[in-house]
Amino acid sequence: MVTVNSIEELFEVTKLFNGSVGFVPTMGALHEGHLSLIQQARRENDFVVVSIFVNPTQFLEGEDLEAYPKKEKADAKICELAGVDILFIPTIEMMYERDELKITAPSIRGFILEGTKRPGHFDGMLQVVMKLLNLIAYNKPKSFRAYFGKKDAQQLVLITQMVKNYFINVEIIPCPIIRDSDGLALSSRNIYLSKEERVKALALSRSLKRASELVMQKEFDVSTIQKEMLKVLIEIEVEYVALVNHQFQALKYIELNNTIILVAGRVGRTRLIDNLWI
Q: Return the active site residues.
A: 34
- Least Å distance, CB 146 to ligand AMP, is 9
Q: Which is nearer to ligand AMP, 23 or 222 (CB)?
A: 23
Which residues are at the interface with ligand AMP (CB under 6 A)?
26-27, 33-34, 36-37, 148-149, 151-152, 175, 177-178, 185-188
Nearer to ligand AMP, 186 or 264 (CB): 186
Output the residue with the shortest Cβ distance to ligand AMP: 149
CB of 15 to ligand AMP, least distance (A): 26
**From the CB of 228, what's the least distance to ligand AMP, in Å?**
24
Residues 6 or more apart whose CB falls under 8 angstroms from that of 226 comprise 241, 243
Of 111, 143, 165, give the one whose Cα is nearest residue 46: 143
Q: What b-and-e string marks burial along 128-157, b requiring 16 or more CB atoms within 10 Å of the CB?
A: bbbbbbebbbeeebeebbbbbbbbbbbbbb
CA atoms within 13 A on the CB side of 115: 18
Question: In whole angstroms, how close is the CB of 263 to ligand AMP at the nearest point?
Answer: 14
159/222 with CB nearer ligand AMP? 159
Rounded Cα distance, 34 and 223, in Å? 33
41's enclosing H/E stretch is: helix 32-44
Between 88 and 148, CB nearer to ligand AMP = 148
2: enclosing H helix or E strand: strand 2-4
| Nearer to ligand AMP among residue 193 and residue 222 (C-beta) | 193
Q: Residue-wise over 12-45: b if at least 16 C-beta within 10 A, else e?
A: ebbeebeebbbbbbbbbbbbebbbbbbbbbbeeb
Q: How far is the CB of 159 from ligand AMP (least distance, A)?
A: 9
